[in-house]
Chains A and B, each alone.
Chain A
Amino acid sequence: MTAVETASERAQRAARPKLLPARLRAALPRTRLLTTLTAASLFALWWLAAHYAWVNPLFLPSPKAVWDAFVRTATVGYQGSLLHEHLIASLYRVLAGYALACLVGIPLGIVMGLSRDVKAVFDPVIEFYRPLPPLALYTLIVMWLGIGDASKVAILFLAALPPLTISSMHAAASVDPRYVKAAKSLGANSRQLFRHVFLPACMPGICTGMRISLGFTYTVLVAAEIVAATAGLGWMIWDASKFLLGDIVIMGLFVLAFTGMALDFLIRLAERALTPWRFR
């Protein structure tokens, strides 16, 4: 889903052949329709596979069983926690780690983009640990901080940091010098230059980093919860799989997917709010 559509894209779309009657077309734009069709087919396939027991129901429970698992976990709970408590445990970790990383990574990246000296100090550290698989790093962090929330927030912070820092750094380093020149000749001092020119000029790049970072952090969250936890969506799935509770596992995956999509949607909203001039 691209938020901005150029004139040529709009013209291309208008030129495409029309397969459906006008009224249906108006109600369902073509792409939306295709998306819906894909989802419906996959769901139908799943239902058929479960209904005719093409696959052992232990591994692939029916849609109904998964729904029941959802209702059960939401009302009775799984291993002592209700579904929303698992969800909140997970969200707390990811948002705490991510927010800390934003607070540190964005200013750090901007300063690194503006000063070669600062970049020379921090760049090797980030470039050293960035290629490490987060889980490899996590083993060490669990040794230091235990399996509680502290170690998880720490690993999520470390996972979120590089994309934020690197994109902020590039954004700050590539601010168009003509804007700086214009602002100076209009009488801006260095503080005003930063606030009115550097910061907004960096914002699109920072937003891209924020989105990439949040997506990555979220995947690391699930992995970290699988390694060591007592609550959380990732942990719930992992624990259920040990008892071959396919319905809980699949239900958990759905909740994870929808939560991830919701987070991405929220960050897109934030992007619109932070850089409104790109969405006109």
Chain B
Amino acid sequence: MLKIEHLNAGYGDLQVLWDINLEIRSGEVVALIGSNGAGKSTLLWTLSGLLKPMSGSIIFAGQSIGGVSPDRIVSLGLTQVPQGRRLFAGLTVKENLLQGAYSRSDKADVAQDLDFVLELFPRLRERLNQPAGSLSGGEQQMCAVGRGFMARPKLLMLDEVSLGLAPIVVDAIYEAIGKVRARGMTVLIVEQDVQIALEQADRGYVLDVGSLIMSGAATDMLANPKIRAAYLGI
């Protein structure tokens, strides 16, 4: 579904990512872990077309998407829930969710998906006509994840959705992600919280100062003493 080869990317002349090689197969849940400033969000920004790669190739669903405009990438089926939620604070919850489906033209299905999202997150239904900016942090994250679902992407990338949230809210969000996965969506989970990410994933990659230094099956990685020492503090 997604194949990244020898990707170098960054901001202007500042290179952040070095020779990234990564693959995600259809139906998988892949975790990308790495500490503060490792370059996780930079990678996602590049995949979404908001940053142009310096070199290397990104193939998504059979098409080269390196340097392609963000709107085209969304229409091809690649969407992300950005770090920090980035909701449209002055729009209502409903408007935020509908804006998530902006690239779609199948109106009836959009209405159905809206219902699906509200079943996943019943608290959003109660807040449907409130400005997104007035929600609690947990509700905002649900809204952001819901907005991502509304694009009905082939591959959904989630950037640190658990950051700063109570465990019970994190559980609710990952439970919802599990249900979406059951519908056939492929998922890339980006987290600093290694435990949460690897528990959900089939496979994982570790990004360290801009380079991928390790990859493997999630269960193996969770058991790996190096990872436990470096990221779980055990």
Q: Do A and B bind each other?
A: no
